[in-house]
């Protein structure tokens, strides 16, 4: 009902009801013993004054009622237009946060990192419908190459005090994002979740410059108790450096089930070298043919904020471990050890031979260095920070040799008597 019509109806109601109420009160007073004469006098005076006071009273009362109604309408109007009802976050690598009112109109859009600033450049979202804003933001991510066929994952996080409403909104937005990606020929993978206020998550988000949604996702991944290739727990800091697509790939590789996170579609691995290429790099580095390989294992893993392929295999009497950068193909770490299972059958004869030899008949530090340098393919003039030490390990004496050359760091264990390389480790020198 319009304001003018409401005011007219209120005035009519008040003018009809107020005199009757007053007359009834006076009539009841007259009947009370000892008040007749006074009431008669009062009635005349009141009726004389009523010509002026009743209309004034009615008007004042009507005004108060109208002001009250307008106040209620105004408060409800303000509440529906300007009060934040839901918070929605989109994470790819760009991170963006939207504040939305009850009418699902955008109140504000905030970039949460520099990439977020780039996709929001020159766009005004004030009082724009949510679906329009979602189209614009996802469209800008596509246009700027943040979502592609090769990097196809996005995280949608919705916060609302009403759990049912948060879930419904999450499902609607997820469907809308999927439709936008499909219209652009991208088979997207969407991780979606709802979240609420959590001081720990908020603190982690601030400390690591993340959205609360991404911080919550990483917390849930850690809670799922997945381990890296070496059996160690991941850290929040290391996972925070990964993009949403990389986190999605890690979850797929580990076959992890993350609480309260829904996933649709499959994360693309196209921008990485792939398992076959990682295997080829490792075999070429060792000079071993695939025909001579046994017990081969290849796993996509995360190490120090990057994705790597962990490649393990055995060949001959050796066991090899490689860590290869998933995008560049660089060998980050490699390790060679004697295959104890393979050599166990020869342990008796080896021990007997060793016992017949003099303990002083070691190859010497210089020979041990030469063996290590030759294996590494470096000359002594290129070596720095060289350390050589004779030590006993597992009942045998070995030369432990450590040195750096170029941007690589080497560690060797060379059998003190036979000159066999028992252990070898190669890593990139980031110092």
**For 171-225, what is each residue's pLDDT tens digit?**
999 999 999 999 999 999 999 999 998 999 999 999 999 999 999 999 999 999 8
d(CA 13, CA 18): 9
Among 5, 43, 7, 11, residue whose Cα is nearest residue 25: 43
Percent with pLDDT over 90 in the chain: 59
pLDDT, tens digit (0-9, with 9 covering 90-100), for 31-79: 433 334 444 444 455 445 454 455 555 566 666 656 565 555 555 555 5
Mean pLDDT over 268-287 rounds to 94
> Does residue 398 surpass a pLDDT of 60?
yes
d(CA 169, CA 193): 10
pLDDT greater at residue 263 or residue 55: 263
Maximum pairwise Cα distance, the chain:
141
Helix boundaries (H) for 31-82: 36-82
> Does residue 368 surpass a pLDDT of 70?
yes
Predicted pLDDT at 2 = 43
pLDDT, tens digit (0-9, with 9 covering 90-100), for 407-423: 999 999 999 988 989 88
> Does residue 147 surpass a pLDDT of 70?
yes
Of the pLDDT bands very low, low, confident and very high (cuts 50, 70, 90), residue 343 is low
Predicted pLDDT at 91 = 97
How high is the mean pLDDT of the chain?
A: 82
Of the pLDDT bands very low, low, confident and very high (cuts 50, 70, 90), residue 336 is confident
- Per-residue tokens: 237: 């800091």
pLDDT greater at residue 192 or residue 20: 192
Mean pLDDT over 251-255 rounds to 92
> Does residue 121 surpass a pLDDT of 60?
yes
Predicted pLDDT at 22 = 37
Among 328, 321, 310, residue whose Cα is nearest residue 285: 321
Helix boundaries (H) for 103-260: 114-119, 130-143, 163-183, 199-207, 212-223, 236-240, 244-253
| Phi, psi for 190 (deg, rounded to 5) | -115, 125
> Does residue 123 surpass a pLDDT of 50?
yes
Of the pLDDT bands very low, low, confident and very high (cuts 50, 70, 90), residue 428 is confident
Mean pLDDT over 309-323 rounds to 93
Among 241, 245, 243, 194, residue whose Cα is nearest residue 220: 194
Mean pLDDT over 378-402 rounds to 87
Mean pLDDT over 318-341 rounds to 89
Beta bridge partners of 155: 91, 191
Percent with pLDDT over 70 in the chain: 76
Among 134, 73, 72, residue whose Cα is nearest residue 105: 134
d(CA 242, CA 219): 14
DSSP H helix total and E strand total for the chain = 13, 14
Mean pLDDT over 287-313 rounds to 93
Stated length of the chain: 431
pLDDT greater at residue 316 or residue 394: 316
Predicted TM-score (pTM) of this structure: 0.66
Element (H, E) at 275: helix 275-286
**Cβ atoms of 320 and 292 closer than 8 Å:** no
Predicted pLDDT at 4 = 47
Predicted pLDDT at 397 = 87
Predicted pLDDT at 26 = 39
Strands 189-195 and 153-159: parallel
3-state helix, strand, coil in the chain (%, to 5): 45, 25, 30
Element (H, E) at 193: strand 189-195
Predicted pLDDT at 304 = 86
Beta bridge partners of 263: 191
> Does residue 337 surpass a pLDDT of 60?
yes
Among 308, 337, 312, 307, residue whose Cα is nearest residue 322: 312
């Amino acid at each position: 009902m319009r304001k003018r019509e409401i005011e007219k109806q209120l005035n009519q109601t008040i003018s009809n009801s107020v005199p009757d109420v007053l007359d009834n009160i006076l009539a009841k007073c007259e009947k009370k013993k000892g008040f007749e004469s006074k009431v008669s006098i009062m009635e005349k005076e009141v009726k004389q004054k009523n010509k002026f006071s009743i209309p004034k009273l009615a008007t004042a009362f009507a005004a108060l009622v109208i002001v009250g109604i307008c106040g209620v309408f105004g408060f409800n109007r303000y509440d529906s237009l300007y009060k934040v009802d839901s918070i929605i976050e989109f994470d790819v690598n760009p991170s963006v946060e939207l504040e939305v009112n009850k009418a699902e109109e955008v109140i504000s859009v905030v970039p949460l990192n520099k990439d977020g600033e780039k996709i929001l450049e020159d766009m005004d979202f004030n009082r724009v419908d949510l679906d329009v804003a979602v189209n614009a933001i996802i469209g800008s991510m596509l246009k700027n190459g943040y979502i592609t066929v090769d990097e196809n994952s996005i995280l949608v996080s919705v916060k609302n005090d009403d759990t049912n409403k948060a879930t419904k909104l999450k499902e609607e937005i997820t469907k809308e994002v999927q439709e936008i990606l499909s219209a652009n020929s991208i088979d997207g993978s969407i991780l979606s979740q709802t979240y609420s206020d959590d001081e720990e998550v908020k603190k982690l988000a601030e400390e690591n410059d993340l959205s609360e949604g991404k911080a919550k996702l990483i917390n849930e991944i850690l809670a799922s108790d997945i381990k890296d290739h070496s059996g160690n727990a991941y850290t929040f800091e290391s996972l925070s450096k990964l993009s949403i697509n990389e986190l999605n790939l890690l979850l797929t590789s580990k076959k992890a089930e993350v609480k309260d996170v829904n996933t649709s579609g499959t994360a693309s691995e196209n921008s990485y070298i792939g398992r076959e290429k990682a295997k080829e790099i490792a075999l070429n580095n060792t000079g071993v043919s695939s025909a001579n390989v046994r017990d081969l294992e290849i796993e996509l893993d995360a190490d120090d904020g990057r994705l790597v392929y962990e490649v393990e295999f055995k060949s001959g009497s050796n066991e090899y471990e490689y860590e290869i950068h998933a995008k560049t193909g660089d060998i980050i770490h490699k390790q060679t050890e004697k295959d104890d299972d393979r050599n166990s059958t020869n342990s008796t004869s080896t021990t007997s031979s060793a016992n017949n030899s003099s303990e002083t008949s070691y190859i010497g530090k210089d020979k041990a260095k030469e063996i290590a340098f030759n294996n590494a393919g470096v000359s002594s003039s290129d070596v720095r920070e060289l350390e050589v030490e004779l030590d006993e390990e597992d009942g045998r004496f070995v030369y432990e040799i450590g040195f750096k050359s170029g941007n690589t760091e080497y560690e060797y264990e060379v059998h003190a008597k036979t000159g066999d390389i028992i252990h070898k480790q190669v890593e990139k020198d980031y110092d």
